[in-house]
Homo-oligomer: A and B are copies of this chain.
Amino acid sequence: MVVILKDGADSKKVKNLTDWLENQKISVHKVIGEYQTILGLIGDTSKIDIDLIQGLDIVEKVKRISEPYKNANRKFHPDDTIIDVGGHKIGGGNFQYFAGPCSVESREQIISIAKDVKKAGANILRGGAFKPRTSPYAFQGMRAEGLELLLEAKKETGMPIVTEIMDASHLDLFENVDIIQVGARNMQNFELLKELGRIDKPIFLKRGLCATLQEFLMSAEYIMAEGNQKVILCERGIRTFETATRNTLDLSAVAMLHEMTHLPVVVDPSHASGIARLVKPMSFAAAACGADGLMIEVHNDPAKALCDGPQALRPEEFAEVTRGVNAIRETVNNL
């Protein structure tokens, strides 16, 4: 951390700041220039509240140089985290498909799609029971009943399931869910993140629509700071000025996150563009740049899907994606 002092900063106050920092085991190095004095802070600054320093009247600016996250930071955990879900591994070179419908709609629908996606190569079944929708008048998901149906599909097919939680008070219902998803809109629902940090289950954390990568990792850190180290990150498109696609899939985030953190990074091309035709090329791209998995919406009748139909693939289209992605991964791994 670098603190730039104001011109003519009161030396007693500077001493107070220095003492306070040194009490926190930060060593302070002073660089005095003609126009500016700079304090270089050396040590573990990840737990220093930057706003406290910024607020001092002797301070012009504060810049962080080290990252404010620790558990999620690759610097301190150089090895890839590998998460095991019912024997299926994610991360550290292990790739998984998370596939299924946007919403659970009926027993027949979810079981039939589960079988289809399993046949096409998916090991983990996705399906929404609680659905965050922009409009209160849109279909809100089958909720508890939808969760029941997902669990039936799990029993029927042996596939672990991932589904979204929208409120910590629903946690009891998720007892038999294998991976709990936190949606983009709840990425900074900090009370929820803390609760999820206290359980022992993988958390599938989606990047918020306007979250920087650092904020994304800080949300992972909320979970990890409470104890739960099993976090899967998911890039699902960010909001930009572009309107031709619903969001802008940020694939550089995959490569950057692999530098910044040891956690696995999954890409969701279905939500990112909102256009089914783009799912195949974007899945190929995600695999080529090193994603650890893909979350893809598949529906046996996309035109009748109760939610997000335009972005869902039919099972045979999904099979084309897995075939291509597997081939690309093999090619890249053999380079």
Contacts and interface: CB of A to CB of B under 8 A. Distances in A.
B244 A137 contact: no
Contacts of A135: 49, 68-69, 218, 221
A189 B169 CA distance: 13
A209 to B, nearest CB: 5
A92 interface: no
A51 interface: yes
Q: How large is the interface on A (under 10, 10 to 19, 20 to 34, 35 or more residues)?
A: 35 or more
Given A243-B212, A278-B252, A281-B255, A52 B306 contact: yes
A296 to B, nearest CB: 15
6 contacts: A29-B38, A51-B307, A55-B308, A136-B225, A186-B189, A281-B288
A190 B166 contact: yes
Nearest to A284: B288
A125 interface: no
Contact of A259 (B134, B212, B215, B277): B277
A286 to B, nearest CB: 7
B188 A132 contact: yes
Interface string A298-335: 00001111111110100000001001100110111011
Interface of A: 2, 4, 27, 29, 31-36, 38, 40, 42-43, 46-47, 49, 51-52, 54-57, 61, 63, 65-66, 68-69, 132-139, 166-169, 185-186, 188-192, 194, 209-210, 212-215, 218, 221-222, 225-226, 238-245, 248-256, 259-260, 272-273, 277-278, 281-282, 284-290, 302-310, 312, 320, 323-324, 327-328, 330-332, 334-335
Nearest to A68: B135
A52 B252 contact: no
A290 B245 CA distance: 17
A306 B52 CA distance: 6
A143 B138 CA distance: 34
